[in-house]
C-alpha cells in the first residue's frame, strides 16, 4: 500500500474505503466483511466489559467440540459472529472453534465469495479473572463458484492462500488489528461513539525481540530443542524478559508491538500441541509474516501446512523473526 498519511480521527470505514480505492478490481465486498467483523467485535466488547454485571460469567454447562466447557461468553461470541457473517452477502462458509461442522451460508442469504475461520473468544478461561481475551479470524477467497454451496476445498488449504486475517483484543481497551495486502493496521474502539479509529498504522514486528512467552510447566515434557532455546534466552547477557498471560491473542499482540516470541510447542503428552491450525495459527501466522515476523510449528512454516481436518492442532512458534528462526533451528530434531 502506498505510504499515505491518515490524519487523527480516521475511522475504520474511512481507512478501508480509501484504501480500497487503490485496488481497481476491488468491489467493496472484503470491506463489507471487515465491517461485519468490526460490528461483531463491538457487540462482544460491550458484553465482555459488562460480563460481571450481566450474569455472563461462568459456564453454560455444555462441552464443545474441543471437549472444553463452554463459557457463557463463548456461546454469545460464537452466535454473534455467525449472525454478523451470514446475511450481508460476503460469506459462503464459517469455520468456528465452537462448531463441529462449518456453517454454510445459503437459502435466502447469498453464498458470497469469502470463507471465514474464527476463534470467537480465545482465552475464555481468563474471563472470570478479568484477564485480556480476544477473537481471531482468517479470510480465504472461495475456490468454488460464488452463489453455489461452499465446498470443503474452499477451506482445507494451506494458510499461504489466506487473503486476510486479524484479531480483536478485549483488554484495557478494545482493538481490531487487520492484515491484508495493504499491510497490518490497528484500530482502537472509542466506546463513547462506537467507532474504531486508526491508532496503530503499519504495524511492524520489532526484531530483535526481547521477550519470550511460554508455559514452562511442561519443561520435562518438552523436546530437547525447546529446552536448549529456553536455556539460551535465559542467559543474563541477553537481557530478555519472560511474559506469559495465558491468552494467545494478548501474548501475540504484546509481541507484535514490543517484539518477542510465543511458543506453544509439542509435548510428549500432546504431540500436536494445543493450539488450532485453521483459526488460531493460520491467521496469526499470516499477520506475523505480513508484519515482518515469522511462524513455524518448530519445523515447518505454518503457512505451508495443508490441514487434514478443520480442527487440527499444531505446535506454534510465532513472533519476531530472529527469535522464531533461533528456536526453530534448535527444535528441528525434537
Binding stretches for ligand P6P (CB under 6 A): 122-123, 125, 215, 246-248, 274
Least distance in angstroms from the C-beta of 249 to ligand P6P:
7
Strand 241-242 and strand 294-296: the pairing is: unpaired
Helix (H), strand (E), coil (C) string for 99-165: CCCCEECCCCCCCCCEEEEEEEEECHHHHHHCCCEEEEEEEEECCCCCCCCCCHHHCCCCHHHEEEE
- Least Cβ distance, residue 285 to ligand P6P (angstroms): 15
Closest to ligand P6P by CB, 98 or 122: 122
What CA–CA distance (Å, rounded) separates 171 from 173?
Answer: 5
Closest CB 169 distance from ligand P6P, rounded Å: 11
Q: Which residues contact 107 (CB under 8 A, 6 or more apart)?
A: none
Residue closer to ligand P6P, measured from CB, 148 or 215: 215
Residue 33 in grid coordinates: 466483511
Smallest CA-to-CA distance from 280 within 99, 136, 123, 120 is with 136
Q: Are residues 317 and 174 in contact, defined by beta-carbon separation less than 8 angstroms?
A: no
Residue 182 or 264 having the CB closest to ligand P6P: 264
- Residue closer to ligand P6P by CB (options 253, 274) is 274
Buried/exposed 282-315: b ≥16 CB within 10 Å, e otherwise: bbbbbbbbbbebbbbbbeebbbebebeebbbbbb
Quote the least distance from Cβ 314 to ligand P6P, whole Å.
13
93 versus 248: smaller Cβ distance to ligand P6P? 248
Q: Which is nearer to ligand P6P, 182 or 279 (CB)?
A: 279
Nearest distance, CB of residue 23 and ligand P6P, angstroms: 33
CA 75 to chain centre: 18
Closer CB to ligand P6P, 203 or 248, in the complex = 248
Least distance from ligand P6P to the Cβ atom of residue 276, Å: 8
Q: Residue 195 is placed in which grid cell?
A: 467507532
Q: What's the min distance (Å) between Cβ of 273 and ligand P6P?
A: 10
| Whether the Cβ atoms of residue 208 and residue 320 lie closer than 8 Å to each other | yes
Amino acid at each position: 500500500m502506498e505510504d499515505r498519511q491518515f490524519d487523527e480521527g480516521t475511522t475504520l470505514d474511512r481507512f478501508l474505503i480509501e484504501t480500497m480505492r487503490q485496488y481497481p478490481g476491488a468491489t467493496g465486498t472484503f470491506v463489507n466483511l471487515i465491517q461485519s467483523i468490526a460490528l461483531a467485535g463491538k457487540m462482544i466488547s460491550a458484553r465482555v466489559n459488562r460480563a460481571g454485571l450481566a450474569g455472563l460469567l461462568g459456564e453454560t454447562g455444555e462441552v464443545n467440540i474441543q471437549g472444553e466447557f463452554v463459557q457463557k461468553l463463548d456461546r454469545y461470541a460464537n452466535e454473534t459472529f455467525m449472525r454478523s457473517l451470514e446475511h450481508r452477502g460476503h460469506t459462503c462458509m464459517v469455520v468456528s472453534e465452537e462448531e463441529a461442522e462449518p456453517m454454510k451460508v445459503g437459502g435466502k442469504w447469498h453464498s458470497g465469495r469469502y470463507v471465514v475461520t474464527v476463534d470467537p473468544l480465545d482465552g475464555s478461561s481468563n474471563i472470570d479473572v478479568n484477564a485480556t481475551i480476544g477473537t481471531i479470524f482468517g479470510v480465504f477467497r472461495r475456490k468454488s463458484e460464488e452463489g453455489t454451496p461452499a465446498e470443503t476445498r474452499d477451506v482445507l488449504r494451506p494458510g499461504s492462500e489466506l487473503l486476510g486475517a486479524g484479531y480483536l483484543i478485549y483488554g484495557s481497551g478494545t482493538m481490531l488489528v487487520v492484515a491484508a495486502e495493504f499491510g497490518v493496521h490497528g484500530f482502537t474502539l472509542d466506546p463513547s461513539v462506537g467507532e474504531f479509529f486508526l491508532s496503530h498504522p503499519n504495524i511492524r514486528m520489532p526484531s530483535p525481540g526481547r521477550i519470550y512467552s511460554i508455559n514452562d510447566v511442561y519443561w520435562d515434557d518438552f523436546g530437547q530443542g525447546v529446552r536448549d532455546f529456553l536455556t539460551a534466552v535465559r542467559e543474563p547477557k541477553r537481557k530478555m524478559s519472560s511474559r506469559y498471560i495465558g491468552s494467545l491473542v494478548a501474548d501475540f499482540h504484546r509481541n507484535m508491538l514490543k517484539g518477542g516470541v510465543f511458543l506453544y510447542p509439542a509435548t510428549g503428552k500432546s504431540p500436536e500441541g494445543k493450539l488450532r491450525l485453521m483459526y488460531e495459527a493460520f491467521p496469526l501466522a499470516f499477520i506475523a509474516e505480513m508484519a515482518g515476523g515469522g511462524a513455524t510449528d518448530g519445523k515447518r512454516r505454518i503457512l505451508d501446512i495443508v490441514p487434514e481436518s478443520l480442527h487440527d492442532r499444531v505446535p506454534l512458534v510465532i513472533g519476531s523473526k530472529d527469535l522464531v528462526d533461533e528456536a526453530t533451528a534448535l527444535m528441528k530434531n525434537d
